[in-house]
């Protein structure tokens, strides 16, 4: 996960020995059920399926989209499939340099907003990292004459979006790269865990959110891995206790940002964590960057044996490892970057380079997706790696990033593997309209989750949230 400064640690290689079948084939003569995407897939008594583009989204096999992404033939999916997740990180610092405000979120195309990041005090209390952005900024429709204590800033704007788009849930994302060193000492004690989780739930209900998203990068050994499990268990208990008292029947969500580097997830107790989680947001990006000696793809699906220096890591290996260690496919949400990493003075993929140049959207070395490709650069598709990039021969500059082509390939991949959906880092990098990656993936997935968010927070400290922000 990138921080406000886009600072990321390099990943390390750890080979996987597990491969998954690309599909489940069923004979029309067989009368069997299989589990896929957490739903039942049954045989069809005919040799072919109808054209999925002619079916309503609720009838498309496996959530097949209107633009024709398919899964196995001869299958139908029963109505227990609740739809794909379309999750999007919103960074509270984005209101400044990127000038990206909550009202710009594509709320009709997303099911979850992950609001990044809350900070962690030394004693374990989870707190706002920027009170102005979170609670104080007045937008044009905000009054300066309200009575009582009220929430403004991004918190109020997100609540208003929830009222208009009932499928959109908001989660408080805690930690991230910058604050991650604060997790270990807090998670190591029962008092620290209780304070962390109780204060997290307090912020969640005060702000009118629907759950928590923990981003600890990363537990370093078996002891910290167990502490992470204990922290998740404590937070799950705190969420359930709050729901039982103030929102009976509603499930507040608990998710994590999950590493795609084997040396990181290899340390973690995935099965132990999964017992308390609703989904895993796989950070399937930053596979290559300025820490490397050669250029490379930063978010490729597959390794390329013909160019191993360009594909030191791969999403397919990470997905296989998570599934092999007991994480249900339907809980694993595939991450896509909305930014590109620059490699300067190079001749191409897997080749030496010199620095990242002195240009970027927000800082040198990083271009937001909406600012790509750069003038003079040509977008290219690497079919072997399942990745896109641009190259400018005159400037000798390569930029690794997702495009509509790679997003389409990744959507087909997640549907084929039965994954739970897609998650993007982060909102300010996307384009609006036709070129939007978030919109393209949402449309390609077809059916999105429709479960309603929570709007009732009777014990919020903020009067407007407590009263449902009346009149707006």
Among residues 146, 181, 25, which one has the least CA distance to residue 466? 146
Distance CA 72, CA 367 (A): 37
The torsion defined by the Cα of 298, 302, 305 and 307, in degrees rounded to 10, comes to: -30
Of 91, 52, 48, 49, the closest CA to residue 69 belongs to 52
Give residue limits of the domains in the chain.
33-77, 85-340+405-445
Q: What is the pLDDT of residue 6?
A: 38
Q: Does domain 85-340+405-445 have CATH number 3.40.30.10?
A: no
pLDDT at position 122 is 97
Contact 72, 26 (CB under 8 A): yes
Cα distance between residue 128 and residue 89, in whole Å: 16
> Which of 217, 143, 207 minimizes the C-alpha distance to 174?
217
Which residue among 78, 136, 149, 217 is the active-site one? 217
Q: Is 434 a catalytic residue?
A: no
Phi, psi of 202 (to 5 degrees): -60, -45
Round to whole Å and give the CA distance between 363 and 365. Answer: 6
Looking at residue 81, its pLDDT comes to: 82
Collapse the DSSP code of 163 into the 3-class scheme (helix H, G, I; strand E, B; otherwise coil) and give the result: helix
pLDDT < 70 stretches in the chain: 1-80
pLDDT at residue number 51: 29
Q: What is the pLDDT of residue 19?
A: 29
| pTM for the full predicted model | 0.85
End-to-end CA distance of the chain: 34
Scan for tokens 């009732």, then name that residue.
456
């Amino acid at each position: 996960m990138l921080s406000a400064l886009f600072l990321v640690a390099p990943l390390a290689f750890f080979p996987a020995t597990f491969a998954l079948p690309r599909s489940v084939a069923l004979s029309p003569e067989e009368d069997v059920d299989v589990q896929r995407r957490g739903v039942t897939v049954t045989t069809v008594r005919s040799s072919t399926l109808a054209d999925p583009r002619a079916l309503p989204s609720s009838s498309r096999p496996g959530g097949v989209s209107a633009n024709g992404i398919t899964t196995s033939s001869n299958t139908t999916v029963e109505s227990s499939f609740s739809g794909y997740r379309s999750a999007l990180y919103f960074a509270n610092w984005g209101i400044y340099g990127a000038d990206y405000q909550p009202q710009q979120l594509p709320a009709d195309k997303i099911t979850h907003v992950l609001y990044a990041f809350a900070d962690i005090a030394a004693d374990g209390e989870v707190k706002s990292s920027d009170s102005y952005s979170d609670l104080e900024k007045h937008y044009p429709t905000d009054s300066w004459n309200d009575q009582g204590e009220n929430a403004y800033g991004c918190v109020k704007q997100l609540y208003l979006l929830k009222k208009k788009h009932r499928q959109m849930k908001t989660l408080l994302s805690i930690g991230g790269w910058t604050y991650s060193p604060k997790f270990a000492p807090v998670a190591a004690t029962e008092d620290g865990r209780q304070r962390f989780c109780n204060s997290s739930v307090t912020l969640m209900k005060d702000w009118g959110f629907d759950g928590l998203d923990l981003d600890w990068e990363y537990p370093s050994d078996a002891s910290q891995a167990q502490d992470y499990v204990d922290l998740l268990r404590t937070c799950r208990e705190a969420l359930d206790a709050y729901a039982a008292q103030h929102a009976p029947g509603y499930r507040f969500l608990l998710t994590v940002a999950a590493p795609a580097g084997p040396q990181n997830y290899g340390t973690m107790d995935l099965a132990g964590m999964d017992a308390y989680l609703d989904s895993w947001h796989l950070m399937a990006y930053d596979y290559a960057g300025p820490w490397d000696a050669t250029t490379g793809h930063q978010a490729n699906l597959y390794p390329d044996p013909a160019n191993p220096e360009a594909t030191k890591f791969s999403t397919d290996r990470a997905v296989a490892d998570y599934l092999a260690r007991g994480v249900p496919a339907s809980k694993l949400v595939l991450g896509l970057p909305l930014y590109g990493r620059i490699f300067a003075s190079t001749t191409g993929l897997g080749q030496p380079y010199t620095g990242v140049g002195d240009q970027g959207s927000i800082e040198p070395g990083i271009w937001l997706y909406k600012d790509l490709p750069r003038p003079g650069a040509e977008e290219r598709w690497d079919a072997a790696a399942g990745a896109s990039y641009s190259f400018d021969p005159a400037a000798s500059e390569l930029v690794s990033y997702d495009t509509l082509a790679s997003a389409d390939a990744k959507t087909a991949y997640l549907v084929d593997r039965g994954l739970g959906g897609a998650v993007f880092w982060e909102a300010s990098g996307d384009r609006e309209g036709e070129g939007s990656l978030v919109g393209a993936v949402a449309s390609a997935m077809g059916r999105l989750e429709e479960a309603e968010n929570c709007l009732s927070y009777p014990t919020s400290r903020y009067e407007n949230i407590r009263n449902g922000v009346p009149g707006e």
